[in-house]
Amino acid sequence: MRRSSSGGWLCLLAFALVLAALLAAATPASAAPTLPRGRWPLPGSPQVLRGFEPPRTRYGPGHRGVDLAAARGTPVLAAAAGTVSFAGLVAGRGVVVVDHGAVRTTYEPVAAQVGVGQRVGAGDPLGVLGAGGHCARSCLHWGLRAGEDYLDPLLLVGAGGGVRLLAAADRAAVQREAAERARLAAAATAGLGAGWVMGPGGRHGFEDPVPGPITSAFGLRLHPVLHVWKLHDGTDLGAACGTPIRAPAAGRVTGETRSAGYGNRLFLDHGRVDGRQVVTGYNHAAGYVVRPGQRLAKGELLGYVGQTGYATGCHLHLMVWLDGGLTNPMTWFSP
Ligand SMILES: [Zn+2]
Ligand SMILES: [Zn+2]
């Protein structure tokens, strides 16, 4: 693996640490390329009351959509062209689901004015905002799903530059929420702690887990869909789906999870290496063949490259923590 140039790193880190609190949500990488170009599901540009908080596990806690401020009786509109696949009550709440092919959008609470099988165009009315939502204020809970995964529905409107900036007072609340999400995301990585550190150069006896080239480096990057700067919290190694992922060094499997953003995840604890406590993480895999608690030898097969979660293609999103702090993998895996 190439070593990244270190010239601008301190400056970039200082800048990044400020932004990280605002932007380091649990969703990395880019959105799936198959998303339709969408629009807001309400007239105008609604205010986002609560953002997307992807669950760490399929049934774990989270907010599987976004809440948009709207009064009862407001028309609810199809975010993109598609076919109504559900219109009815779920736990006493009106729900409409529109199938767009690769993804589905969900709307609730809605008093539906459409029926299952009906074709709708972007902006066509689905019904009106009903009662029984989960917001303190009246709101539309808008969701986006790909198979069993939940995605951030703002991805649909972000491409058009339509994401509305919040008023300063609201922004403070959203920033607090984002900081909390970042804290939770850090805690979610098996108590590995927050923080962000540079590692000492050198290979430390670690081999690349897959033979592919670096296709995206660690650091801030402009999100290809949202057009905001986000921390890319690992190194992407391009490799065909099905390519074996091998343990870069001996270690113990400490966790295997699944998330909407990272897809299938696995963590390896390598213990102390050259004076640092080293943990590596593997994301977007098609699947893993090892279990938590299992000890692996260097070079042992742990799983196969895939494109689960938000991935624009087959690759491994490699992550490294040193002494509990997220680090640039290239500073630990450098020649
Ligand atoms: Zn909601
Ligand atoms: Zn990545």
In the chain, the amino acid numbered 320 is: V
> What pLDDT is attached to residue 31?
33
Which CATH number do you get for residue 70?
A: 2.70.70.10
Q: How far is the CA of 26 from the centre of ligand 1 (A)?
A: 17
Q: How far is the CA of 273 from the centre of ligand 2 (A)?
A: 24
103 and 221 share one domain: no
Q: How far is the CA of 287 from the centre of ligand 2 (A)?
A: 17
**Any idea which ligand is nearest the CA of 67?**
1
For the chain, give the number of residues: 335
Q: How far is the CA of 64 from the centre of ligand 1 (A)?
A: 7
Whole domain around residue 14: which residue ranges? 9-24+183-332
> What pLDDT is attached to residue 77?
98
pLDDT (tens, 9 = 90+) of the chain, 335 residues, equals: 444 443 344 444 444 443 433 333 333 333 333 567 789 999 988 888 887 776 656 666 778 888 999 999 999 999 999 999 999 998 889 999 999 987 899 999 999 999 999 999 999 999 999 988 888 889 999 998 877 777 778 778 753 333 333 444 454 554 555 555 444 444 433 333 333 445 566 788 899 999 878 877 777 665 554 555 567 788 888 888 888 999 999 999 999 998 888 899 999 999 999 999 999 999 999 999 999 999 999 999 999 999 888 877 789 999 999 888 888 888 888 76
Q: How far is the CA of 233 from the centre of ligand 2 (A)?
A: 7
Q: Give the number of domains in the chain.
A: 2
322 and 196 share one domain: yes
Local structure of 182: helix, strand or coil: helix
217 and 266 share one domain: yes
Nearest CA to 149 among 262, 254, 43?
Answer: 262
Q: How far is the CA of 118 from the centre of ligand 1 (A)?
A: 25
How far apart CA 71 and CA 302 sit, in angstroms, is: 51
Look up residue 328 and give its DSSP letter. -
Contact assessment for residue 95 and residue 86, using Cβ atoms and an 8 Å cutoff: yes
> What pLDDT is attached to residue 61?
72
250 and 302 share one domain: yes
* Burial of 277 from C-beta contacts in 10 A (0-12 / 13-18 / 19+): middle
How far apart CA 140 and CA 147 sit, in angstroms, is: 22
The label of the residue with tokens 């951030």 reads 152
212 and 316 share one domain: yes
Q: How far is the CA of 89 from the centre of ligand 2 (A)?
A: 39
216 and 79 share one domain: no
**Any idea which ligand is nearest the CA of 221?**
2
188 and 311 share one domain: yes
pTM (2 decimals)?
0.45
Q: How far is the CA of 135 from the centre of ligand 1 (A)?
A: 7
In a domain, 1, yes or no: no
**Any idea which ligand is nearest the CA of 230?**
2
Contact assessment for residue 40 and residue 201, using Cβ atoms and an 8 Å cutoff: no
